[in-house]
Amino acid sequence: SCKNEAPIDYAIITGNIANADTKEMVLYGTTDRSFKKHTITINEDGSFIDTVKVAGQYFLYQAKNGTPLHLETGDNVRINYDSKDFDKTLVFSGKGFEISSYLVSKKNEERELMGKGTEVYTKEEADYKKTFQNIKTAQKQLLSAATGIDAAYKAKEERNIQYAYLGKLSIYQSYHSYYAKKKDFEPSKEFLSEVASIQFNSEEDFEFSPAYKSLVTNHYQNKVSELVKANEKLDRTLTMIKVGSSIENQTIKNAMLYEAVKYSITRADNLEELYTAFKAAGSTNEKNNTEIETSYSSLKKLTKGNPSPKFVNYENNAGGTTSLDDLKGKYTYIDIWATWCGPCIGEIPSLKKVEKQFHGKNIQFLSISIDAKKDHQKWKDMIKEKELGGIQLFADNLWESKFVADYMVKGIPKFILLDPQGNIVTANAPRPSNKKLVELFKELKI
């Protein structure tokens, strides 16, 4: 009899890991940023199986191993290896395995030819360029020799290899300056001549090649930097929106506008102006537009004078628990941080200095850690080691803590100032290292 079967809209990933040292593996998307993270369970016998509905390139992590993986709709890719000897035992098989196998060989070739660590970035420009020319040549030879990969993919991947090479040339100045300790280093014009030939309007390459996407993004960010350098009064995000609105290719325009706004909107003091500029810039990606509009609607609740979102019964390092309502009666300067966050720790000396300056005034200093529970003792130890003052609290669910989510915190450190009634003065308070913080406190007559 005839069956009305639904078309397959997924790929299968399956396999077995000998000596598996974790109970799960994580899949991260690379070419499609809407695919953030997917966790795959590893069974007791080392076997696993799962489905993925988004075609494209991924990285699969189990313990310390990052494995390139390519999946197309209808693929059934099998991965076998021994965790104790990953490099020598990794084997791909099944339907559609060929691209993944090539990508692993490509990665290994680059690792071998680059050498260890950051030594390659200390090379003089002729040797540096030669290294990456050799990598490019070797990878193109691998691609040419690979079987079972269609011509359309090979054509796009060959351009991707070229873009990756040009990307390495474009970062040479900053990387060589840092690792070779040459503060004012400038490469020769001839060195960057190939980079100047890049066209920044290829939609196909933008959607396929992470290297090309990075080159395009850096191109427009550099344009913005030049404009802001020429006029320091310009707002960087608004300038990026203006530059993005002039991009001819609609797909690239949509991406650049979204990247300009998606994080900066959560820290913007000029929320209305930024949102209005984004709306007028011509993005046609409905998913992106809806996300920005949702962020805008939520952020409107975090403007000056509105009641602050609340937290209840966060663990207090001094003992017991503390809720936000317990702190009414004084201005409250809130620092959302974590022990693993370098910029957060970098603000500690300035924070202690400001605390000392305003000791006994009508303000209290509150630090909320979003460390994982496994790092609870590390949090307590750092408080003691750094002699942290103020009120030290531990959030209840990392980034997903309701208070953190309500403030739409996308990056830390994050600083917030509340008035004595628990209303928002600013959801984007200056950092302790910024002189504008003390100016704000004095303006409020704290």
Mode of pairing for the β-strands spanning 414-418 and 24-29: unpaired
Strand partners, 335: 367, 415
Residue 5: predicted pLDDT: 63
pLDDT of residue 4: 56
Q: What local confidence, expressed as pLDDT, does residue 59 receive?
A: 87
pLDDT value for 104: 94
How far is 248 from 251, CA to CA, in rounded Å? 9
**CA-to-CA distance for 398 and 368, rounded, in angstroms?**
10
In this prediction, residue 281 carries a pLDDT of 97
Torsion of CA 361, 366, 367, 373, to 10 degrees: 150
The Cα 379–Cα 249 span in angstroms is: 48
Structure tokens at 390: 């103020």
Element of type H or E holding 251 = helix 250-261
Question: Which strand ranges, in their side-by-side order, compose the sheet holding 76-82?
Answer: 47-52, 11-18, 76-82, 91-95
Angle CA(344)–CA(346)–CA(351) in degrees, nearest 5?
80
Distance CA 441, CA 446 (A): 5
Tokens, residue 435: 């002189």
The Cα 18–Cα 80 span in angstroms is 8
Among residues 119, 120, 112, which one has the least CA distance to residue 139? 112
The 10s digit of each residue's pLDDT in 119-163 is 999 999 999 999 999 999 999 999 999 999 999 999 999 999 999
Which pLDDT score, from 0 to 100, does residue 9 have?
Answer: 87
Task: Tell me the DSSP string of 310-370.
Answer: ----EEETTSSEE-GGGGTTSEEEEEEE-TT-HHHHHTHHHHHHHHHHTTTSSEEEEEEE-
Q: 240 CB contacts (<8 Å, ≥6 apart)?
A: 220, 221, 224, 256, 260
DSSP 3-state of 234: coil
By the 10 Å C-beta count (0-12 exposed, 13-18 middle, 19+ buried), 39 is classed as exposed
Residue 6's pLDDT is what?
64
What whole-number distance in Å separates Cα of residue 17 and Cα of residue 24?
Answer: 11
Query: What pLDDT shows up at residue 37?
Result: 79
pLDDT score for 28: 85
DSSP-derived pairing of the beta strands 24-29 and 38-41: antiparallel
What is the C-alpha separation between 335 and 83, in angstroms, rounded?
A: 41
* Chunked mean pLDDT (size 10), the chain, 446 residues: 68 93 84 72 94 87 79 94 90 96 95 92 96 97 96 97 97 96 93 93 95 96 96 95 97 96 91 96 96 95 95 97 97 98 97 97 98 96 96 96 94 97 96 97 96
pLDDT of 22 reads 83
pTM of the complete model: 0.83
